[in-house]
């Protein structure tokens, strides 16, 4: 008896899922959006953010099967494009990265690095003790391995 009920439930579910897929498959969906103020825009962005946790919604949005169309006064307002600002090149002197060229790097070696250093370069064949790794992580020092 339980087997019959399970078979019936499976059949009903497969029919319903097939109907849902047929209704959603490839058919472009269009939602209208009214954005008259910054509060409306924020509310719309928050609604999209909350709906993005649904995988089907996110997939439809990424694939372009779900689109948004503005409605109301906001669509009639033509705003000029902002003037392009020329790119500025900012040149600075590269920060020297301290190098430790030892075969075994200990916690004391990492502790000896100045407080304002954010990264350190170690030799290709250098090894770090677990305490040295912990100290570098605690001080948020990025460890880079040299190629030579």
Determine, yes or no, domain membership for 12: no
Determine, yes or no, domain membership for 89: no
Instruction: Give the model's pLDDT for residue 74.
Output: 47
Determine, yes or no, domain membership for 61: yes
Indicate if the pLDDT at residue 37 is higher than 80: yes
Q: pLDDT tens-digit profile of 83-114? A: 666 666 555 555 678 888 899 999 999 999 88
Maximum Cα–Cα distance for the chain, whole Å? 80
Instruction: Give the model's pLDDT for residue 132.
Output: 93
DSSP E strand boundaries for 28-95: 29-33, 66-70
Determine, yes or no, domain membership for 128: yes
Residue labelled with tokens 């790097």 = 105
CA 84 to CA 22: how far, in whole Å? 46
Number of domains in the chain: 2
Instruction: Give the model's pLDDT for residue 140.
Output: 92
Parent domain of 66: 29-76
| 103 shares a domain with 72 | no
Between residues 8 and 18, which one has the greater pLDDT? 8
Residue labelled with tokens 């190098």 = 99
Determine, yes or no, domain membership for 120: yes
| 105 shares a domain with 69 | no
Determine, yes or no, domain membership for 5: no
| 140 shares a domain with 106 | yes
- Most confident residue range from 32-41, 57-66, 68-77, 96-105: 96-105
Determine, yes or no, domain membership for 23: no
Nearest to 28 by CA among 63, 77, 76, 80: 63
Give the model's confidence band at 25: pLDDT under 50 very low, under 70 low, under 90 confident, else very high. Answer: low
Between residues 105 and 17, which one has the greater pLDDT? 105
- Most confident residue range from 13-27, 58-72, 76-90: 58-72
Determine which of 11-25, 68-82, 101-115 has the lowest per-residue pLDDT on average.
68-82
Determine, yes or no, domain membership for 22: no
pTM over 0.75, yes/no: no
Instruction: Give the model's pLDDT for residue 90.
Output: 57
Give the model's confidence band at 1: pLDDT under 50 very low, under 70 low, under 90 confident, else very high. Answer: confident
| 71 shares a domain with 33 | yes
Instruction: Give the model's pLDDT for residue 23.
Output: 59
């Amino acid at each position: 008896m339980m087997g019959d009920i399970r078979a019936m439930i499976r059949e009903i579910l497969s029919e319903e899922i097939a109907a849902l897929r047929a209704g959603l498959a490839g058919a472009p969906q269009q939602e209208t959006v009214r954005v008259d103020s910054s509060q409306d825009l924020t509310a719309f962005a928050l609604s999209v953010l909350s709906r993005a946790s649904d995988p089907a919604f996110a997939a439809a949005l990424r694939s372009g099967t779900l689109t948004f169309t503005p409605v109301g006064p906001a669509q009639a307002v033509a705003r000029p494009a902002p003037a392009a600002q020329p790119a500025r090149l900012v040149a600075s002197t590269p920060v020297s990265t301290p190098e430790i060229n030892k075969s075994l790097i200990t916690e004391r070696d990492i502790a000896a690095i100045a407080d304002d250093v954010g990264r350190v370069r170690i030799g290709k064949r250098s090894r770090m003790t677990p305490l040295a790794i912990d100290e570098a992580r605690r001080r948020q020092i990025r460890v880079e391995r040299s190629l030579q």
